[in-house]
Structure 1
Amino acid sequence: MSVQAARHVCGTYYETTLNPIVQHHVDSFNDLLERRIPVFLRASNPIQLVLDAERAIRIYIGGRDGTKILYRPPVDELENAVTPNICRVENKTYLLDCLVDIDIEYQIDKDTVELVQFEKVTLGQIPLMLRSKYCHLSALTPAEAFEQGEDLHELGGYFIVDGSERILLSQERLGNNLYYAGKRAIQTTVEAEQVGGKTDEEGAGEKYEYYSGLRSVSEDGTRGPYSHYLVIPPESRNISWEEIEMRNEGMAAFGKEPISDYGSTRIRGGIVMTLPGFKIPVPVLSVLALLGVETDKELYDTVLCGIPDRSVYEDFFIQMVMGHQKNLDKGAGTTNLELLRVATKSRSQEEVFYNLQAMLFPHIEIPEGESTADMYRRKAYTLGYMLRLGIDNALGIRAQTDRDHFQFKRFDVSGDLCFQEFRRIYKDTAKAMKLKMDTRVHFEERVYSGKGLATLVQRENVGSFWQSYNFINEFSKAFKGKWGGKDGISQILSRVSLLGTVSQLRRSSLQMDPSVKALGARRLHGSSFGLTCPSDVPDGRNVGMIKHFSLLTHVSTQSESAPLRDILARSENFRPISKINPSTWTAARWTRVRLNGDHVGVLVKNAQDVYAALLAYRRSIAGALVSVAWNRTDNELVIWSDAGRPSRPLYRPGVTPEDVLAKKKWSEMMSTIFDMTDADESESVRIAMTPFSPTTPSEIHGLFLLSPLSAVIPFSDHNPATRTAFSCAQCRQGASWYHSNFNKRFDTITLILNSPQRPICETWVYSHVLGRGGCMPYGENVIVAIATYTGYNQEDSVILNGSAMRRGLFRTSYFHSYVASEELVDQAMGTYKEFANPVGKADVKLKADKDYSKLDENGIIRMGSEVDEDTVLVGMVSAGKVDASVVPKRGQRGIVDGIQMYTLVTATRSSSAENAPPPRVLRGVKVRITESREPILGDKMSSRHGQKGTCGLILPECDMPFTAKGLRPDLILNPHAMPSRMTTGQMFESTSARVGLLLGTLIDATPFCTRSQDEDYRQMLRKIGLEENGSEMMYNGMTGEMMEMEIFVGPTYYLRSKLMVEDKINYRDTGTRTLMTHQPLGGRSVGGGMRIGEMERDALIAHGVSSFIEESFMKRADEHEVLFQSGSGLLDSTQKDEPVDTLRMPYAMSLFVKEMESMHVQPILKAVKE
């Protein structure tokens, strides 16, 4: 029943959830539009420009409350809907218009304020995510979307920018408002101190400094993120007897005896903290003092609140307080305020208090009715908590924070990344608007004096102040370049295979340089269990940095914290932290409550009741992704409602299989069956590994630990983890039906498997991930014999049946699209680069050895034409004389099966003169070439178990071995592949698929089932009359002799990889070369050659191919003639009375001689006559 319930969960999730694969992207983008942008506008209002003591301008974007915002889906000039496929074909950006109301208040003088309002002003345009709320596709049925050029199973979750499909890769980072602590080694130097006539020295060596930190950001996102970093240095003895005597007077506050022995006295000098708004680290105790913690006793109680036994901290506090006092005593009259004042940029007290109020811990929200003193007390408690984390770490009370734990991780998905870019562009645009307004008012002071100021912004010129085009310009730069200054966030969506597309949409990347050898960050952390796939990871330099979300993993969007605060406030046992005096907080039984990192209060008793109320709210629709974790070790109730937390569903205690099977919608399951649990909450509850525990949350099924890509691998629980990882990589590269409407697309390079087949063995996920009902397969069922045969399938090679290939086995269609567009060459002269057939134009010199015969009168190749590398695809003439025709890449062949003409822009008139040519419409064209390819020697094949291999031999069917019933295999695999790779899952697939074929049924190959079905398949084979191990006697197809051993033979699902020999062939005679060294360019795509270095040269010499060596080093690239004077041995012709000869040498040699001469080294050459 548990397996049936788990399968029902899988089917219900994918069939009744909108956009299940890309839900985290779509939800976050919808949240950006519906909540984050309005909240940000409201929090950023007003944009204020102060002109002088009495006059000011205040601009409210989106109205005073920031809610007057309207989104308009993409339309053209005639208000017709612009669909995503139109943008793909015509190289446009799929845009969303953001319209807002703008209220402008003009402060004319102290008593006069004039209000001017503008409705539906363009705030900006941003790229629109497919399948999001305002996308045209969200209102269409699959059939209607198909008619508009989309896939029947369009996933969405990506953007279209200048015709290119772009995805924002989810970014893994350290979360905001999370406290962490640790230590790091530092080098110390010798210290010496003269005390009482004695010198006390301390040796150099390695010591540790301890730190705690926090990255704080406000809930509305307008303030922060600001880094807060506290450092506790090592101990030192740098203290005098006079200072000890001064401090003895205050020892009674700690209940300690006066200090009498200098040798045992140490201090903690300079516990400092890096805070926003201060240019240098500032003393922590100075900050606490300005927050109201003035005496040593208040400091003691604030930092150690809730700890009854404080004796272990007393020595440390003495050292800390004495070290701080020494810093104050360095300057006469130095105060804590003075220490902070000199650390500000303006060196003013006003900036100190502004930093403490607005920039220190911005995540601490200020509720209505709270005084500044209450806010300062809350911040003092928070700073004291950070200090205690560092002290606990220094004293060994608390271990270092494991920042690789997933409770400290957050994932920025598409909506979060777009909000970061939107916020940056908005601030830059607002700053530019204020500058333009100030400049206009300053230089036209007479016009805008008095009430004339209210005429500054009019409906006609509002766009000149608020430059809305900045949004789409900056977004386009970010999508096509570095997003937020970082590479790899914006990527082109892979369209090689459907599985590759799905994998990329579920992928995340760690924000870390791949060259950094941080082993901890790369290792598979136990806290990622159920959240990210342990198998679907790359190898090489990106190992551990690229992760893929598991099947049911959700990434939270931010939810309002107000309902959670109300639940706490309604409890009679809850006390706000701002109302608690530190001297009264000594009870360890008080439960500290943290909400999104903010210490909001304590529960003095009955914390279980509040915990239950929070869990009840979490089971509502609004709070489904809220995390409630009760850390009983530290007696903390930690609540999170922020964005970016990965969470997964678990069965609630007491749920039964009957309860699960009774639910028909995922929303019903979420409200009654599951609790979404993140890594933080997983640390505070017991989770049963077997489903349907009566007392604790429990796992659903082992399949849901995997990503969509690894979850389609059959019997993966019978393979080594490395094979599963390799299989994921092979599946991404397999030829498949990547798109059901591929004939309406013009992808640069892609391929289609002509005759894909549904696998006989499949998992539960297959029919949901690969199209509805599994209608988008990615391989073919082939008969595989595991044997050595002819010796051509040794190592990774396989032998293919040539007759089967002629019948269509693994035949693919390879597509390559070319783009050409007209453009304005010279505006003054009115010349264009335009489409035209150059043949027949007397003043145009045609390209040599190119075929123009297949162009029509407009210069476009005809549909259905056969092409090769010399066929002109698009005829173009530049400036009326130069042939700029487009030809295919080297080695291209095929048939033209798609041509799309489209309009670019209308060029401006070249001149204002009456006889100037009229403006014209510029056009673009895309030409698609298809090529049919059969497997050839060297092409790559792979099973779904990572058994990859290349084609070593293609045999005719008559030469292939056969069984007693005449069955001939399509592929022969070397048996050594099994013991070395241990892919037992492939043996299971072959055996079970054979049973499935004979019984006419599909086989459930889902991993982690309750028991092995090996014996069941054996019995079925025996009943059918076959050998129970799947082996058969076979006969040599060339001699007819019976083979000596039984051969394991059966159907296996194999893939054809996109890696083909035809795409790797590289050759060169002559061609382009570098300007400086005259060497051939590197790379096949630019017509370059392959490098021949010293080792290659030595191998060629050993083979005696001297002419080939001469061609390689001379004729194909840099053969060069120089003038040479044999008498002097110089490459020179200026010396008199010396014969001058010509000498052939590589250009690199002559360049080397010149470089040596530039360093005043004169090479002397000797020529030997042949």
Structure 2
Amino acid sequence: MSVEAGRHVCNTYYTTTLNPIVQHHIDSYNDFVERRIPLFLKASNPIRLVLGDAREIRVFIGGKTGENMGYRPPLDELDYAIMPNTCRTENKTYSLDCVADIEVEYQIGADVETTKFEKVTVARIPLMIRSKFCHLSALTPEESYAQGEDYHETGGYFVVGGSERVLLSQERLGNNIFYAGKRAIVSVVEEEQKGGKTEEKGEDKEYYAGFRAISDDGARGPFSHYLVIPPARREVSMAEIAARAGTKLEIKDYGSTRIRGMPVVTLPGFKIPVPILSVFHLLGLTSDKEIYDTMLVGIPDSDRTVYDDIFMQIILSHDVESDIDTLRIATKTRTQEEVFYNLQAMLFPNIEEDDVGALYRRKAYALGYLMRLAVENAIGIREPSDRDHFRFKRFDVSGDLCFQEFRRIYKEVAKAMTLAMDTRVHFEERTYAGKNLATLLQRENIGYYWKMNTFLNEMSKSFKGKWGGADGVSQILSRFSRLGTVSMLRRSILQMDPSVKALGARRLHGSSFGFTCPSDVPDGRNVGMTKHLALLAFVSTQGNTGELKAKLVGHTNFHRISTIHPARWNTSWTKVFVNGDMYGAITEKTQAVYDDLIGYRHQNPGISVAWNRTDNELMLYSDAGRPCRPIYRPGVTPDMVLSKKTWKELADVFEFVDADESDTIKISMTPFSKSEPSEIHGIFMLSPLSSVIPFADHNPGTRVAFSCAQSRQGASWYHSNFNKRFDTITLILNSPQRPICETWMYPHILGRGGCLPYGFNAIVAISMYGGYNQEDSVILNESAMKRGLFGTTYFHSYNVVEEMTNEMEGLHTHFGNPAKKGLKLKADKDYSKLDDNGIIRLGAEVNEDTVLVGVISGETDKSEIAKRGQRGRVDGIQMFTLSHGSGKNKISLNGVKIRVAEARTPILGDKFSSRAGQKGTVGMIMKECDMPFTARGLRPDLILNPHAMPSRMTTGQLLESAASRIGTALGTLVDATPFCARDQGVEYRELLRKIGLESGGSEIMYNGQTGEMMEMEIFMGATYYIRSKLMVEDKINYRDTGAKTLLTHQPLEGRSAGGGLRIGEMERDALIAHGVSGFIEESFMKRSDEHEVIFQKETGLLDSTGEGEVGVLRMPYAMSLYVKELESMHIRTNIVGV
């Protein structure tokens, strides 16, 4: 029943949820446009320009409330909807207009004049496919298909400049989370002479605590708060310290203590770290006792003695005459006003100003908690924070990333607007003197000051280049296969240099269970840096923090922190943190409050409620970016699950937990525990790619990871409307098959009902046969290929657009037939297939010499030629027009996209793989009459060497073969979902016996060449095989002579450039061993950079101007260049003639 319940959960989620695969992207983007932009505009208002004559301009975007705004979906000049496929084919950006009221206040002395501009387009941003404002979100699959979209369109990506772009989720350290640790520094160990012996005193580590704070609306922050406690040095007595300080205070004789450097904290708004005690003093904690109580709030007096020594060191290290002057000097303007502004607005911005009178006290509590973490690390009672734990992680998905760029661009545009207004007022003083200032901004010129197009231009640059200065955030959406597309939309990237050997960040962390897949990871230098979300995992969006706080305040046992003095804190009280803000304390009946908050979370799944009973701290988070997943609630039964028909109904039996909460509760690995939350099913810890692998639990983890990589590269039906697309390079299997063995996830990931397959059910015999199928090779049946096995169509699209040649004069290239214009044509190129407009005809045969588009620039032929090795037929042509410039300088440029289709069948060297990760290349294509056959005349499509099994241990493939034979005989699909607790081996043996086959799946076979019975039983069955995109026709390279580089005179590099094949030292040695000296000379000289040099026989120098006897020597040009470069560095090289 637990297995059936797990299957029901899977089917219900993926059939009753809108866009389940990319829900985290779409929810995040919708939150970005519906909540975050309005909140940010409201927090950023007004844009202020203060003039020197008691006049001021204040600009409110979205009105004074910031709420007078809306959005306009993409429309053309006639107000018709612009569809995403139109933007793809015409190289345009699918964008959304942000429309808002702009209200301007002119402060002129004591008078205020107001001007309002309604419905002004203030920003244009790329629009996510299938998000709320996308036209496709209101269409049925049939209507979307009619518009050129995939019938099974997932959305979650953007169309920018005609290219499909996806923002990969970025794994980062979270905001509003406290952390602490220690690190080694330059040694500060001091040597002290005692009794003629040298003793070392001191430490070689410093201790730190950090907190990266950001406000709920995102307008302030993120700001780093970083506290450092320096290492302790040698010991001194308390009497000596009192004598040095000249203090008159009575200091009890605690014996001795260590001298320690002054703890400092890096805070926003201050250029250098400042003393931590100075900050406490300015926050209102005037005595050491108050600081001591604030730092150790909630700790009993009996447990505080361990802190006394280090706290005394911190107090005694504070050697500051004036706290305010110390902080003032650290600011940019060196003013007290900036000090208090920094403390008010920038110190812990996550602490909202809803209780202004106690704001400093609340911030003092936060600073005290930060100091306590560092102190506890220093005295060894708290372990350093494991920042690879998922409770410290947040995922920035599409909406978060777009907001980061929007915020950056908005600040730039606002700054430019202020500068433009200031410049206009100062250069035209008479025009805008006095009250005439109110005429500065008009409806007609508002676009001059507020550069709306900057948003789209800058975001387009980010999509095509670095996003926020980071590489690899925006990538072209992979369309090689359906699985590759799904994988990319569920991918997350850890922003870290791949060359860094950070082992902890790369290792699989236990806290990631259920959130990211443990198997779907790359190997090599990117191992552990690329992850994929698990099947039911999602990423939280920003919750309603105000409502959560109101829920807390409504409890009689809850008290705000602002009402509690540290000295009156009861140690039994539970500290409550809301998004890192110590918001209050629960004085009694914490369990009842906790249970009530869990009930509140049932209606708000994005809320995290984590009660750390060890430290008696209740951590509540409502921020965005937390990976979350569902688990069963205690007491749930299979019948309760099976009775739910929609995902919304199923939410009643789930707890949605994040890594922080998972760390504080006990979760049963067996479903349906009566007293504890429990896991749903093992398959839900996998990613979409690894979840479609049959019997994945019977294969090694390395093979599962390898299978995921092969599946991404497999030819498939990647798109149901592929004939209307112009992707650069794609592959289509002509007649793919649905696998006989499939998991629960297959019909949900690969189209509805699995109608976008990616392979063939090949009859595979595991045997040695003729020696052409060694471990990494296979033998293919030629007749099976003629019947369509692995038949593929290869598409290559060309995108040609007229280009500007002279912006000032408006000159540009244009399409035309150069052969009919009397121009000088490119040598050996075929212009015969161009029409009068210079475009190749539909259906024309294409080879590498064919001219696809005639392009003329003045009197020069700049036609587009097919790429090297291109063959096929023109399958599609799409003409379009682009606009360049604006206003009177607006010019229309023509563009064309041409798709060439090429039929391909497997050849020697092409790569194939099973879903178990058994990859191999074609070693032989054998005629069917020569293939081995059974007594019933069955011949295999593919022969695999048995030596591939022991080393790779892919037991799952053997189970798949046996199960496929059973499914074929019974006419049914076979469930191959991993982690379904049953003994498939025993079960399949019995079924094979019942249908009249040998229980082990073996067959007696006969040699197809001799007709003799083979002397062993051969295991044979149907196995789903994938044809990889890695084909010989795309890799093969050859050249006799051709273009050379200008500097070294050696052949160009690369197949596309017509380059040569490199012969390195190893290749040279192999050729020498074979005695082919003539070929070596030809390769290094005649076909490369043969060159004659003249040298002086007496001196051995390359000098043709000397008077002595000269000699002529043949050598590679690169060698003569090397000699000249050495001479330029005053290194003499002599050539000795023979």
Name the TM-score class by shorter chain.
over 0.9
Deviates more, 1:531-540 or 1:50-59: 50-59
Quick one: which of 204, 207, 217 aligns to 1:207? 204
Contact 1:193 1:238 in 2 (8 A): no
Displacement of 1:181: 0.6
Q: Does 1:336 align with 2:326?
A: no
Who is 2:252 aligned against? 257
**Using the alignment, how far apart are the partners of 2:472 and 2:808 within structure 1?**
41
Q: Can you list the C-alpha shifts for 1:674-700, whole angstroms capped at 9, x where unaligned?
A: 111111111111111111112211111
Who is 1:894 aligned against? 872
Contact 1:687 1:696 in 2 (8 A): yes
Displacement of 1:1095: 3.0
- Decide whether aligned partners of structure 1 residues 186 and 1119 sit closer, same or farther in structure 2, where only a CA change above 3 A counts: same
* Equivalent residue runs for 1:627-706 within 5 Å: 627-670=608-651, 672-706=652-686
Who is 1:331 aligned against? none
Quick one: which of 558, 564, 580 aligns to 1:597? 580
* Equivalent residue runs for 1:274-423 within 5 Å: 274-308=266-300, 309=302, 310-324=304-318, 327-328=319-320, 334-367=321-354, 370-372=355-357, 374-423=358-407
Q: Classify the secondary structure of the residue corresponding to 1:106.
A: strand
Amino acid paired to 2:705: A
- Structure 1: runs of 5 or more not aligned: 329-333, 912-918
**Using the alignment, how far apart are the partners of 2:548 and 2:246 within structure 1?**
48
Quick one: which of 218, 231, 235 aligns to 1:234? 231
Displacement of 1:1068: 2.2
Q: Classify the secondary structure of the residue corresponding to 1:839.
A: helix
Displacement of 1:455: 0.5
Contact 2:191 2:200 in 1 (8 A): no
Quick one: which of 825, 840, 847 aligns to 2:826? 847
Amino acid paired to 2:26: V
Q: Can you list the C-alpha shifts for 1:343-400, whole angstroms capped at 9, x where unaligned?
A: 2222221111111111111111111xx234x111111111110111111111111111
* Equivalent residue runs for 1:1004-1019 within 5 Å: 1004-1019=975-990
Amino acid paired to 1:445: E
How many equivalent pairs are there?
1135
Who is 1:614 aligned against? 597
- Decide whether aligned partners of structure 1 residues 248 and 633 sit closer, same or farther in structure 2, where only a CA change above 3 A counts: farther
Deviates more, 1:336-345 or 1:207-216: 336-345
Displacement of 1:1116: 2.8
Displacement of 1:1100: 2.3
Displacement of 1:909: 11
Who is 1:967 aligned against? 938
Q: Can you list the C-alpha shifts for 1:306-353, whole angstroms capped at 9, x where unaligned?
A: 1112111111211111111xx22xxxxx21222212222222211111
**Using the alignment, how far apart are the partners of 1:906 and 1:519 within structure 2?**
50
Contact 1:190 1:202 in 2 (8 A): no
Q: Does 1:1150 align with 2:1120?
A: yes
**Using the alignment, how far apart are the partners of 1:204 and 1:926 within structure 2?**
75
Displacement of 1:246: 6.9
Contact 1:799 1:973 in 2 (8 A): yes
Displacement of 1:560: 1.3
Q: Can you list the C-alpha shifts for 1:692-719, whole angstroms capped at 9, x where unaligned?
A: 1122111111111111110001111111
Who is 2:542 aligned against? 558
Quick one: which of 466, 487, 493 aligns to 1:503? 487
Who is 1:862 aligned against? 841
- Decide whether aligned partners of structure 1 residues 784 and 213 sit closer, same or farther in structure 2, where only a CA change above 3 A counts: same
Amino acid paired to 1:522: R
**Using the alignment, how far apart are the partners of 1:1125 and 1:192 within structure 2?**
68
Amino acid paired to 1:861: I
Who is 2:1019 aligned against? 1048
Deviates more, 1:412-421 or 1:644-653: 644-653
Contact 1:535 1:725 in 2 (8 A): yes
Who is 2:155 aligned against? 156
Displacement of 1:1039: 0.5
Displacement of 1:289: 1.0
Quick one: which of 719, 733, 736 aligns to 1:739? 719
**Using the alignment, how far apart are the partners of 2:654 and 2:989 within structure 1?**
38
* Equivalent residue runs for 1:583-594 within 5 Å: 583-585=567-569, 587-594=570-577
- Structure 2: runs of 5 or more not aligned: none
**Using the alignment, how far apart are the partners of 2:136 and 2:444 within structure 1?**
35
Q: Does 1:1105 align with 2:1076?
A: yes
Contact 1:189 1:204 in 2 (8 A): no
Displacement of 1:1108: 2.5
**Using the alignment, how far apart are the partners of 1:122 and 1:829 within structure 2?**
31
Who is 1:545 aligned against? 529
Contact 1:17 1:666 in 2 (8 A): yes
Q: Classify the secondary structure of the residue corresponding to 1:24.
A: helix
**Using the alignment, how far apart are the partners of 1:474 and 1:630 within structure 2?**
44
**Using the alignment, how far apart are the partners of 2:1108 and 2:198 within structure 1?**
78
Deviates more, 1:94-103 or 1:239-248: 239-248
**Using the alignment, how far apart are the partners of 1:828 and 1:758 within structure 2?**
58
**Using the alignment, how far apart are the partners of 1:610 and 1:200 within structure 2?**
61
Deviates more, 1:165-174 or 1:686-695: 686-695
Q: Classify the secondary structure of the residue corresponding to 1:454.
A: helix
Amino acid paired to 1:648: R
* Equivalent residue runs for 1:867-882 within 5 Å: 867-879=846-858, 881-882=859-860
Amino acid paired to 2:1080: I
Q: Can you list the C-alpha shifts for 1:1094-1137, whole angstroms capped at 9, x where unaligned?
A: 332233233333333233223334233445455654433333x4
Quick one: which of 700, 707, 716 aligns to 1:720? 700
Amino acid paired to 1:257: K
Q: Does 1:30 align with 2:66?
A: no
Q: Can you list the C-alpha shifts for 1:146-201, whole angstroms capped at 9, x where unaligned?
A: 11111000110001111111100000011000000111112324647899xx9997
**Using the alignment, how far apart are the partners of 2:649 and 2:685 within structure 1?**
22
Amino acid paired to 2:96: L
Contact 1:766 1:774 in 2 (8 A): yes
Q: Classify the secondary structure of the residue corresponding to 2:929.
A: helix
- Decide whether aligned partners of structure 1 residues 206 and 313 sit closer, same or farther in structure 2, where only a CA change above 3 A counts: closer
Q: Can you list the C-alpha shifts for 1:880-918, whole angstroms capped at 9, x where unaligned?
A: x2111111111111111111111122678999xxxxxxx
Amino acid paired to 1:761: C
Q: Classify the secondary structure of the residue corresponding to 1:411.
A: strand
- Decide whether aligned partners of structure 1 residues 4 and 134 sit closer, same or farther in structure 2, where only a CA change above 3 A counts: same
Displacement of 1:280: 1.0
Q: Does 1:428 align with 2:427?
A: no
Contact 2:932 2:940 in 1 (8 A): yes
Who is 2:477 aligned against? 493
Contact 1:993 1:1050 in 2 (8 A): yes
**Using the alignment, how far apart are the partners of 1:886 and 1:648 within structure 2?**
51
**Using the alignment, how far apart are the partners of 1:716 and 1:403 within structure 2?**
31
**Using the alignment, how far apart are the partners of 1:143 and 1:1164 within structure 2?**
79
Q: With the length of structure 1 as denominator, give the TM-score of the two structures.
A: 0.95
Q: Can you list the C-alpha shifts for 1:2-30, whole angstroms capped at 9, x where unaligned?
A: 11111111111011100000000000000
Who is 1:273 aligned against? 265
**Using the alignment, how far apart are the partners of 1:1001 and 1:929 within structure 2?**
39
Who is 2:187 aligned against? 188
**Using the alignment, how far apart are the partners of 1:944 and 1:461 within structure 2?**
62
- Decide whether aligned partners of structure 1 residues 908 and 131 sit closer, same or farther in structure 2, where only a CA change above 3 A counts: closer
Amino acid paired to 1:792: Y
**Using the alignment, how far apart are the partners of 2:363 and 2:1035 within structure 1?**
63
Q: Classify the secondary structure of the residue corresponding to 1:1131.
A: coil
